[in-house]
Amino acid sequence: MVLQTNTVKISGVPSDEGWSASFEFSFKNERFPHGVTLFLVFSTIRKNMEFSDSEVSRKILQRFQEEYLKAAAKPPDLALKDAARTIFDEFFQKLDGLEVASACYLNGTFYSSCLNGGKLSLYRDGFLVKILDSVSPRVVSASGYPKEGDYMLLATSDFFKKISPSELKGCFSKGVKTIEEVVSLRIHATATASVAVVSFGFGNNFTEESVDIGTSASLVNIRGRGAQLRNMGTGFLEKVHNIFPKRRLFLNRQDSEVGVRSRKLIVVGVILTLLLGISIFFGVYKNKKDAYKNTYSERLAFAKTNIEDAISMKAVDISRSRELFMQGGDVLQQLVAEGIKDPEIDALTKMVSNNKGEILGEKEVSPQLWLDLTLVVDNFSSDSLASDGQFVYNPDFLKRSIISVDLKSKRSATVKIPENIGASAIIAKSTDVYLLGNDGLYALEKSRKEVDKTWSETPRIAGFASNIYFLDTEKGEILKSSGTEAGFSEAKKWTTSEREGFDGVKSFVVDGFAWVLKNDTQILKFSYGNGLNFQLKGYPYELPNYDLLTTDENSENLYLLVRKDKKISVFDKTGRYQYNLNADVFGDTKDFLVFESESKIILLAGEKLYEVKI
């Protein structure tokens, strides 16, 4: 049976600062035979308004309905997303600071899309959880299945600034009427604060009761059960009494007869005393057990709901699944840490263990030995790798040797580094292998200088297309040398800022964008010399202090290695976490390369090369 909804819509009083509104409308047609309910909450700053508030509200509402119905042939989440996107695009230039939060309830599923400040929160089993928290014009969406007793809050950002989560939870525990009274008082003076509170329940049972009524009902039930216990006790005594034969006492009866009866009464008294003691013991034990469980039952219910929802959602929305799994897992860990013993906690812990790897993206891999470099050259020692896509190059700058290995056949060859090149770094391109010398960049095969030194110290180097890039940590800049018919141009400053913070650089690669990994796991991203905002996100744990970063123009992902945790973390190039690879050999890795087209990683650990399938 589909849950019914009950909605409270509250908005601040319009003022010179701005205004807000919340709407709910339901309809049925051929496409929606069981009906659909749409919710829309928005706010705006009042500035240069061309129309009245009511006229703008009507136009926004009309366009929202039109766009949703127009896109109704699409999946519900996409139809809602398109409708929210459309009204924002059409009105944001006329309405400064426009925030939009929208939702629809269809066939038992609640869909929501928010942007530019619109928010969605869920109250369930005593916990208030933030579901959507938009901060930009990019639409964020979510969907899920409400449970009986749930509350959904669709609101503007100013709503949550005026009322705290603890106050909201206190309102929810008392019902919709309390929500309406308390929230109205708190936000009435804030013009841009608006909320639609949607509660879910079944049929005739979907009514609100005060706490006092609930308490009285429970007391009546307890009294009723007490009467039943007394009746059961009386019946039991009568049955015990009837077991023994009835006798009359006469004053002239022998003492022995009285003694026999007395002994029997004593036995009955002992039995009854034992039964009463046992009953009291189990009653006290049960009360203590119930009271003890009440101290953590809400948290356990929250953990169980989130973990079960995460498991059911993992094939549909892995990002949301991970978020729920971590929320539930954190609460479960708290319960375990507190030493609480409960079979439900044990079962939930086992469920987490069985699904953790798949949901959080933990993959155990088994690296295979690819080549022992010391079998090619005695006492060979290398600290870096380079590749042109066909060969892997391993330099030993002290021995002035480079071992090249064919990626497919694994055939190896050794090349000597000319004496005139004081090499300290290597990159490989399809045209040649290039070595960084003391006074410039040299081509190995041609044995000539290609780029004169214009940097202040030994830089990090990277190649992309026909260009070579030099990261100068001392000057805080990246230089670029472009390929020409005669060789390469002079290396000139590529970054546009006066100085970049390149202290503690660990890795530098270029794939069209320039990527710089720093000591504190900060990743800098540059395009056409300009710094871009970039952040790793969605990682299920605290981000480690990564040691190495690699990618190339043929890879869809960034690969970051942390030796301490013996792990390679994979993120897409927007910064979204994908999965972790785990292997002991990662703890000894000096450098590594990724070949996504070959579905493998080649890594250098000690004096050996290993292959990892991905």
Q: Which of 205, 227, 248 is the last residue of a domain?
A: 205
Question: What pLDDT is recorded for position 234?
Answer: 42
Are residue 354 and residue 430 in the same domain, yes or no? no
Residue 251 covered by a domain: no
Of 341, 360, 379, the one marking the end of a domain is 360
Same-domain pairing of 387 and 344: no
DSSP 83: H
Query: Given the structure tokens 């909320």, which residue do they identify?
Result: 195
pLDDT band at residue 47 using 50, 70 and 90 as cut-offs: low
For residue 93, the model assigns a pLDDT of: 75
pTM above 0.75, yes or no: no
Q: Which CATH number fits the domain that encloses residue 56?
A: 3.60.40.10
What does the pLDDT average to over 484-491?
A: 90
The first and second tokens of residue 130, run together, are 């933030």
Two tokens, residue 20: 């807000």
Place of tokens 């744990």: 541
- Both 400 and 427 in one domain: the answer is yes
pLDDT digits (tens, 9 = 90+) for 434-483: 999 999 999 998 888 999 999 987 899 999 999 999 999 999 999 999 99
Strands 467-472 and 608-613: unpaired
**pLDDT band, residue 235 (cuts 50/70/90):** very low
Q: Are residues 446 and 593 in the same domain?
A: yes
pLDDT, one tens digit per residue, over 349-369 is 999 989 988 999 999 999 999
Residue 14: pLDDT band with limits 50, 70, 90: confident
* Section 256-272 average pLDDT: 67
If one compares 67 and 178, the residue with the highest pLDDT of the two is 67
Residues 340 and 317 in one domain: yes
Same domain, 345 and 376: no
Q: How far apart are CA 364 and CA 439, in angstroms?
A: 45
Query: 252 versus 573: which is more confidently predicted?
Result: 573
Alpha helices of 413-541 — where are they, by DSSP H? none
Largest CA distance in the chain: 140
pLDDT in the model for residue 611: 97
Predicted local distance difference test score (pLDDT) of residue 133 = 87
DSSP at 406: E
Residue with tokens 């021995």: 399
Read off the tokens for 259: 């003694």
Same domain for 533 and 407: yes
Answer yes or no: is 73 within a domain. yes
Helix, strand, or coil here: 206? coil
CATH number of the domain to which 516 belongs: 2.130.10.10
168-172, 281-285, 454-458: least confident range: 281-285
Question: Do both 331 and 389 map to the same domain?
Answer: no
When divided into structural domains, the chain yields a total of 3
Beta bridge partners of 471: 460, 478
pLDDT at residue 237, rounded to an integer: 42
Indicate whether 385 and 343 sit together in one domain.
Answer: no
In a domain, 268, yes or no: no
Looking at 121-135, 549-563, 569-583, which range is the least confident one?
Answer: 121-135
- pLDDT attached to residue 249: 39
Could you give the C-alpha distances from 177 to 9, 165, 407, in angstroms and in order?
12, 18, 70
Which domain does 29 fall in, by range?
4-205
From 360, 386, 407, give the residue that closes a domain: 360
**What pLDDT is stored for residue 555 in this prediction?**
94
Q: Does 242 map to a domain? A: no
Instruction: Establish if 350 belongs to a structural domain.
Output: yes
Sign of CA dihedral 233, 235, 240, 244: positive
The amino acid at 311: I
- Between CA 467 and CA 448 the distance in angstroms is 17
129 falls within a domain: yes
Look at 321 and 243; give whichever has higher pLDDT. Answer: 321
Identify whether 215 is part of a domain: no
Kindly tell me if the per-residue pLDDT of 208 is higher than 60: no
Q: Given this model, what pLDDT does residue 211 score?
A: 32
Across 252-261, 439-448, 582-591, least confident range: 252-261
The 10s digit of each residue's pLDDT in 308-348 is 988 988 887 888 888 889 889 989 988 998 888 889 999 99
Q: How many C-beta atoms lie closer than 10 Å to residue 43's C-beta?
A: 30
Average pLDDT, the chain: 84
Rg (CA), the chain: 36
Same domain, 191 and 301: no
Do 179 and 311 fall into the same domain? no
Query: Is 117 domain-assigned?
Result: yes
Question: Could you tell me if 35 and 89 lie in one domain?
Answer: yes
